[in-house]
Structure 1
């Protein structure tokens, strides 16, 4: 059973522990330190200004987090992180499906949810696809990490597709 616990001041230490004891190879800062995460918490990057974060737990162990932001807009984004020991076991797909249901149910003004990943993060790309997200964009040299620029890929699900449980492919026959 995978549970989603909303981040509160009482659980912030669990988030700091999660983010500073794991490596995040497909995120801009692969190894954030405690001070960086604490400063980000103070700035409201996890719980304020249209942002909501949930700890992902299995048997009371924090195994990941999912953070949605731009929730005041009609289109929001999210960040997902799963501990290495739990990757490749369907935990990410479960979290994406849960978050999609949660956001479209609780934020009725949302018309779409977006996510972006590095082009070589095949596990996340497969997760997007299996959760009904459609690849909508390929961005060249758009993901700065470790003094390099990587390509990134953008995916989205629309509320209409989610509600009807369908996936509408992109219809663009223009060659330019």
Structure 2
């Protein structure tokens, strides 16, 4: 099974609207994006601009989702947003997709030191995906993720270091390094 990425362009706008509006993303801030809202985000440059690039995620040349890399100009630590088609979820593809995304980032962006992602505390599948793909939990932002019902949950941040990706290791740190 081969995972590849194809950069999105403005020519992909209608396909992107179709993909996002015809799938539910229960662990994202907008669980059920609507076409008019997506169109506005596209017109504002959300998926292709100097700082962000969207990609179609392909498995053996079939589109299975999309990923967006963010903070490309500001930082040597880009952040990603990954969304798989509902029909592709629960098949164990997340780890392979995330590993392939790491490969694309670290190979094509030589100045990238680390690669980051975040998810809600209740998105157990994604949290396990991060760990299985070699990422390490680095932050637990309490009540930082707004939910569709007006509440808030913790946002959990993970990253992988270039060195760890290259060597297949995970550099751990001491969470309780300071005591009072």
- Which bracket does the TM-score occupy, shorter chain normalised? over 0.9
- Give the equivalent residue in structure 1 for 2:139: 137
- Give the equivalent residue in structure 2 for 1:95: 97
1:123-173 per-residue CA deviation (whole Å, 9 max, x = no partner) reads 100110011000011111000122111111110011111122211112343
SS at match of 1:3: strand
Query: Runs of 5+ in structure 2 lacking a partner?
Result: none
- Give the equivalent residue in structure 2 for 1:115: 117
When normalised by structure 2's length, the TM-score is 0.91
Q: What is the aligned residue count?
A: 176
Alpha carbons 1:66, 1:95 under 8 Å: kept: no
- Give the equivalent residue in structure 2 for 1:162: 165
1:86 and 2:78 are equivalent in the alignment: no
1:171 and 2:174 are equivalent in the alignment: yes
Alpha-carbon distance in structure 2 between the residues aligned to 1:14 and 1:108 = 31
When normalised by structure 1's length, the TM-score is 0.93
Alpha-carbon distance in structure 1 between the residues aligned to 2:62 and 2:168 = 32
Alignment RMSD (CA, Å) = 1.5
Alpha-carbon distance in structure 1 between the residues aligned to 2:136 and 2:179 = 19
1:1-37 per-residue CA deviation (whole Å, 9 max, x = no partner) reads 4432211222222211110011110000111111111
Query: Runs of 5+ in structure 1 lacking a partner?
Result: none
1:15-164 residue pairs with structure 2 within 5 A?
15-58=16-59, 61-72=62-73, 73-146=75-148, 147-164=150-167
SS at match of 1:22: coil
